[in-house]
Structure 1
Amino acid sequence: MELNAVTLLLALTNLVAGLALGVFLRKRLVEGNQKNIELQGRQIIENSISEAEQIKKEAILQAKEEAFQIKQEADRELKASRQELKDDQRRLNRKFDEIQREFQILEEKQASLKYREEQLETNEEDVAAKKQQLESLVDEQRYKLEKIAGIDREEAKVQLMQSIESEARMDCAKRLLRIENEMKMEADRKGKNILALAIARYAGDYVADKTVSMVPLPNEEMKGRIIGREGRNIRAIEAATGIDIIIDDTPEAVILSGFNPIRREVARLALEQLISDGRIHPARIEEVVQKVAEDLEVGIRESGEQATFDVGAHGMHVDLINLIGRLKYRTSYGQNILQHSLEVAFLCGVMAAELGLDVKKAKRAGLLHDIGKAVDHEVEGSHAIIGRDLAKKYGEADDIVYAIGAHHEDQPPKSVLDVLVQSADALSGARPGARKEMLQSYVKRLEDLENIANGFAGVDKSYAIQAGRDLRIIVDSQKVKDEEAALLSRDIAKAIEEQLTYPGQIRVTVIRETRAVEYAK
């Protein structure tokens, strides 16, 4: 449409231009051949009008064509839209039919559920009535049974539970005895071979230290010099060392008393040096004590280095090495802890080699297992837990740290290394002559063992033998059966573990004897 208007405008413009040109020519040729001019002007005007008419017709035809095409395109789009609407209507009709069918099904299900609920309520009422009838019958029968048996329900329940418990314990004891017999042969053989080999391949030296040290004197006059004027020398020694000096009627000797073994050793070495030098006065005492303490620290470090070298525990923290050296002056039940630690390390190494484990790691754990005893008088808690925290602080491996904390079962063992350290510690402490204890505590421990055993039903006599390492128990054959003997030994062993503290381990043996006696007349 815009193209037709432009074309028409162009034709009109040409027409106006032609008219103007005719007027111009007419004016120019007024003086010429007016007739020719008029003819030419008329011809030009006619040509312009004819051309304009032609252009106008072409524009109208083109506009009609475009209008027809637009109408056809609009008809096609309208037809497509109507078809799409028809398709949507058909889909909606189908969906509506499906929804109607589903709604009908739901109504049917709802009616069915309602019918079932009514039936269920009816059945529940029937069940409740029958349950009440059954309870009445049960009560009636229970009353008749109690009357016939002569005991009530609770007593019958107690007797039944006792009977079941007795049978269960009997079956448990039989199974336990069978399992133990099956497992003991191979385990005992291998365990005994490893322990015997470890003991045979290692022999340790034992040093018995106490809380007192004795210093010999060259003569009785030296006691007076040690005391000094108005006791100033002995007070200076006690103040510098923290150790009590006892001067009594013991000929040519003084006694040093103190619980700290390192301070006691410093006092002993300083006093020997002062006696040898002969110059005993407060200033000299402080000087000698300081020098001896420094020398002893060097000796402690050297002892720790030597111990780690003997075991092959390289790369250990220097503070741990110093703590190992301090164990040289620490004892437990009269056993030197450094010697004990070295022995445990070697025993762990021997057993680890037999089991195919890491020998170096086992030795390292054995050497460090009692490291907590180097500071247990300074820190509260079990020496196993103290040692575990020290080893963790100074960068030891996690499995070694755990083995140190578990060697007295302050925490449950989790690996073979934990059990190895426990076994080696028990071997070193339980060896005859390795440890000492006071007579009173020894006798008290034996009495406690026998009293614990005598407290169990069916025990006739009990004997603690082999320095309390073996507890023999004789039971009444009428009260304890063969199957119950295994349970009795286990219960007594558990009671000993819970109530007593003892080095090593204690074997509990239950003996049941059956005798048949007949007289010949």
Structure 2
Amino acid sequence: MTLMYVILGVLVGLFGGYVIGFPRGRQQRQALDNSAVQEAKVEAERVRSATLAETGRLRQDAEAEAARSRQDAERQRSDASKDASKLVQDASDRAAQMVAQATTQRDQLIQDAARERESLKVERADTRREREDLGREIERLNRRAEQLDARGDKLDQHEERLEHHQQRLDADEAALQDKIRHAELKLYEVAGLSEEQAREQILTHLDAELEEEKAIRVKAMTERASLDAKRTARHVIAQAIQRSASETSAAMSVSVVPIPSDAMKGRIIGREGRNIRAFESLTGVDLIIDDTPEAVILSSFNPVRREVAKHVLEGLVQDGRIHPTRIEEMVHKAQDEMKAFIHTQGEEAAIEAGVVGLKPGIMQLLGRMYFRTSYGQNVLKHSVQVAHLTGIMAAELGLDAALARRAGLMHDVGKSIDREIEGTHVEIGVNLGRRFSEPLEVIDAIAHHHDPENGETLYSVLVAAADAISAARPGARREELESYIKRLEALEQIAVSFPGVNSAYAIQAGREVRVIVEPDRVSDAQAVLLAREIAGRVEQDMEYPGQVQVTVVRELRATEYAK
């Protein structure tokens, strides 16, 4: 391409020179032609050299390109060979795996077939045994059926004999009735009474005997009913508590905590309720947030937990930082403070009652009674009062006043944990007394302060009397003096309204009514029925705390003077 451009340039130059220099003459043109020829030769030589150099370079480039192409082809051939080897190896491996799997499956199938054959053998053996057992059972049932048929024949024979005997007995009974009728007629003639008069005397005698029998039966049925009642009493009481709520139960199970504003309720609840959930899980108390303005409600039948929760919530509201971690810290702090407060209350009660030498565990139990009430009366204050009364009566009788105060203070100690342990407060108190190595007199007073007649010491009688005085006195258990007096008068009026009652007296602050009957009008058997009827009327017509004991007293006095 370069050579062609050079030649073209030369031709253009020659042509131009010829055109321009044509007028100058032939010599000049000839000189010019020679010079141009020389230049053209030189230029042609130079172009040929350049062309050869370019051709050599192009040949080298072509040879290098061909070498590279051969190397690439060799490399591709090598890679293809490697890939083919790899594919062959992979195919061999897969074939080996498939052969191994096929071999394993074949072995597994052989084993399964063997196990299946063994299982079939076992099932056939079991079936054969069951068939044999069934055959033996059928034979036994056939023998049993034959025996039953034989017994049926014997029973038929016995029935025939019994029918024959029944016919003979009917005939003998008819003859006996005739004899009885003749004997009754002869008795009427001998006694000089008519049939109606004799029947009336017999019925009168039977009424007296039946009255005695009825009283005995009623007493037995009452005892049996009392045993059955203990099994159902808890269920009945639980149902009654569920279906009716009183002001006392509400006051003893709910605490109201004031808050500065209703906006605080949202902070107490927390994001997605996390604060209220943490509070309820840590304290064991239900937190009720309703439409009550500037107040939230804590609900729990455990007064100690409710008091702890109240302190925690008041501290959180005052502090303003309400989150689960802070709630946990406040709960632990309030529980420690509550333990110290309970122990302090127990110590103060012991000091007030004049009792020394109590163990720390007993102090803690006494302090828990600060949160316990019975018919609206604080149990700890009641126990301190019983201790004072018991000590005074023991001093008057010449007994150990300090021991009596100790027994009076601890007579209701079981009520401190009766919500947490199964059993009555008497049973729990006796176990606690033994656990803390209390004197036998104290344990006896705890065990029998409701039934002093079964006690082994005088201290149980003194504690029972002091307990009745403290618990049943006017005003002790939310009862006004006027209603208290009316209740005692109503008890006496109900008892006096029955025939045969001479007088009635309400004693032990209305816990017992003594009924004095006329012995010539009321027998011993009738006294049992009378006590039951009076108790039924009291249950029907009156409202009273606890229970009322009805005691019927029948006394026959024979008086004669020697002259």
Q: Following the alignment from structure 1 to structure 2, what is the Cα–Cα distance between the partners of residues 164 and 458?
A: 20
Number of aligned residue pairs: 319
Q: Does the aligned pair in 2 maintain the 1:256–1:268 contact within 8 Å?
A: yes
Shift of the 387–423 alpha-carbon distance from structure 1 to 2, 3 Å rule, reads same
Tell me which of 375, 379, 385 is aligned to 1:343.
Answer: 385
Partner of 2:193: 148
Larger relative contact order (CA 8 Å, sep ≥ 6):
1
Summarize the Cα distance change of 1:383–1:250 in structure 2 as closer, same or farther, 3 Å threshold.
Answer: same
SS of match in other structure, 2:399: coil
Residues 472 and 349 of structure 1: is their aligned pair in 2 closer, same or farther, counting only changes over 3 Å? Answer: closer
Are residue 435 (structure 1) and residue 474 (structure 2) matched? no
Cα deviations by residue, 1:382-405 (Å, 9 ceiling, x for unpaired): 211221121122111122211111
Amino acid at match of 2:379: I
- Go from structure 1 to structure 2 and tell me whether the alpha carbon gap of 1:140 and 1:361 turns closer, same or farther (over 3 Å shift): farther
The answer to whether residue 364 in structure 2 is matched with residue 322 in structure 1 is yes
Please give the alpha-carbon distance, in whole angstroms, between the structure 2 residues aligned to 1:472 and 1:149: 48
Identity of aligned residues (%): 44
Q: Structure 1: which amino acid aligns with 2:474?
A: P
Alignment CA distance shift 1:316-1:481 (3 Å): closer
For 1:212, the equivalent position in structure 2 comes to 254
| Higher mean C-alpha deviation, range 290-299 or range 389-398 | 389-398
- Which residue of 1 is the match for residue 438 of structure 2? 396
Contact 1:346 1:363 in 2 (8 A): yes
Structure 2: give runs of 5+ residues left out of the alignment: 1-182, 216-249, 553-563
- Displacement of 1:284: 0.2
Distance 2:394 2:284 in 1: 43
- In structure 1, the gaps of 5 or more residues are 1-137, 170-207, 511-521
Please list the CA deviations of residues 153-186 of structure 1 after superposition, one character each: whole Å capped at 9, or x if unmatched: 99549628839999xx9xxxxxxxxxxxxxxxxx
The one-letter code sitting in structure 1 at the alignment partner of 2:193 is: I
Q: One-letter code of the match for 1:400? A: V
Residue 159 (1) aligns with residue 205 (2): yes
Match of 2:460 in 1: 418
Distance 1:144 1:231 in 2: 99
Partner of 1:230: 272
2:322 to 277, 280, 299: 280
How far apart, CA to CA, are the structure 2 residues paired with 1:364 and 1:338?
13
CA change 1:224–1:486 in 2 (3 A) is: farther
Identify the residue that residue 531 of structure 2 maps to in structure 1: 492
Cα deviations by residue, 1:115-173 (Å, 9 ceiling, x for unpaired):
xxxxxxxxxxxxxxxxxxxxxxx99996655563645599549628839999xx9xxxx
Within the candidate set 234, 258, 263, 1:221 is matched to: 263
CA pair 403-483 structure 1, distance change in 2 beyond 3 A: farther
Tell me how far 1:290 sits from its aligned partner: 0.7
**Hey, what's the Cα distance between the residues in 1 that align with 2:304 and 2:324?**
21
* Contact 1:341–1:367, Cα closer than 8 Å, also in 2: yes
Preserved CA contact (<8 Å) 2:453 2:461: no
AA aligned to 1:492 is: A
Contact 1:429/1:503 (CA < 8 Å) preserved in 2?
A: no
Give the Cα separation in 1 of the matches to 2:423 and 2:536.
Answer: 20
Q: Following superposition of structure 1 onto structure 2, how do residues 78-97 of structure 1 map, counting pairs within 5 Å?
A: none
Root-mean-square deviation (CA), in Å? 4.9
CA gap of 1:253–1:458, structure 2 versus 1, over 3 A, is same
Alpha-carbon separation, structure 2, partners of 1:481 and 1:325:
52
Give the 3 Å change call, closer, same or farther, for CA 465–498 of structure 1 in structure 2. closer
Alpha carbons of structure 1 residues 164 and 311: separation in structure 2 relative to 1, 3 Å? same
How high is the TM-score relative to the length of structure 2?
0.48
Q: Is the 8 A contact 2:289 2:297 kept in 1?
A: yes
Deviation at residue 416 of structure 1 after TM alignment: 2.5
Letter of the 2:382 counterpart: H
Q: Distance in 1 between matches of 2:424 and 2:519?
A: 40
TM-score of the two chains, using structure 1 as the length reference: 0.51
Does the CA contact (< 8 Å) of 1:349 and 1:360 recur in 2?
A: yes
Q: Which residue of 1 aligns with 2:222?
A: none
Distance 1:260 1:411, change over 3 A: farther
Q: 1:242 to 1:314 in 2, by over 3 A?
A: same
**Partners of 1:372 and 1:498 in 2: CA distance:** 34
Deviations 1:319-343 (A, max 9, x none): 2221111111111112111111111
Name the counterpart of 1:407: 449
SS in 2 for 1:285: helix
What aligned pairs does 1:154-193 form with structure 2 within 5 A after superposition? 156=202, 159=205, 162=208
Displacement of 1:220 in angstroms is 2.0
Please give the alpha-carbon distance, in whole angstroms, between the structure 1 residues aligned to 2:410 and 2:514.
38
Question: Structure 1 502/303 Cα, relative in aligned 2: closer, same or farther at 3 Å?
Answer: same
Is contact 2:427-2:447 (8 Å) kept? yes
Letter in 2 for 1:392: R
Q: Aligned-pair distance for 1:209?
A: 5.7
Paired residue secondary structure (2:325) = helix
Q: Which residue of 1 aligns with 2:158?
A: none
2:500·2:521 contact (CA, 8 Å) conserved in 1?
Answer: no
Q: Contact conserved, 1:489 with 1:508, CA < 8 A, in 2?
A: no
Whether the 8 Å CA contact 1:307–1:342 is kept in 2: the answer is: yes
The one-letter code matched in structure 1 to 2:531 is I
Q: Indicate if the aligned counterparts of 1:214 and 1:256 stay in contact, CA closer than 8 A.
A: yes
| Equivalent residue, structure 2, for 1:187 | none
Alpha-carbon separation, structure 2, partners of 1:254 and 1:382: 34
Higher helix share: 2
When residues 291 and 360 of structure 1 are mapped into structure 2, their CA distance, relative to the original with a 3 A threshold, is same
2:448, 2:370 → 1: CA distance? 23
Tell me how far 1:313 sits from its aligned partner.
Answer: 2.3
2:257 partner SS: strand
Indicate if the aligned counterparts of 1:266 and 1:292 stay in contact, CA closer than 8 A: yes
Which residue pairs with 1:306 in the alignment? Answer: 348
AA in 2 matched with 1:303: Q
Map 1:115-134; keep pairs closer than 5 Å: none
Per-residue displacement from partner, 1:207-264 (whole Å, max 9, x unpaired)?
x961111111122222222112222111111111101111222222111110011100
Q: Is the 8 A contact 2:444 2:457 kept in 1?
A: no
Change (3 A) 1:247 1:293: same
Deviations along 1:279-319, one digit per CA (max 9) or x if unpaired, are 11110001100110011111111221222222232222322
Q: Give 3-state SS (helix, strand or coil) of 2:193's partner.
A: helix
Distance 1:384 1:284, change over 3 A: same
Q: SS at the partner of 2:252?
A: coil
Contact map agreement 1:385 1:410 (CA 8 A) in 2: no
Per-residue deviation at 1:409? 2.4
Which residue matches 2:424?
A: 382
1:264 partner SS: helix
**CA distance in 1: counterparts of 2:364 and 2:537, whole angstroms:** 35
From the superposition, tell whether residues 224 and 386 of structure 1 become closer, same or farther in structure 2 (CA, over 3 Å). same
- The letter of the residue matching 2:205 is Q
CA deviation digits over 1:332-382, x for unaligned, max 9? 112111111111111111222222222111111111111111111122222
Alignment partners' CA distance in 2, 1:148 and 1:342? 74
**Partners of 2:437 and 2:409 in 1: CA distance:** 15
Post-superposition Cα deviations, 1:38-85, rounded to whole Å, max 9, x if no partner, equal: xxxxxxxxxxxxxxxxxxxxxxxxxxxxxxxxxxxxxxxxxxxxxxxx
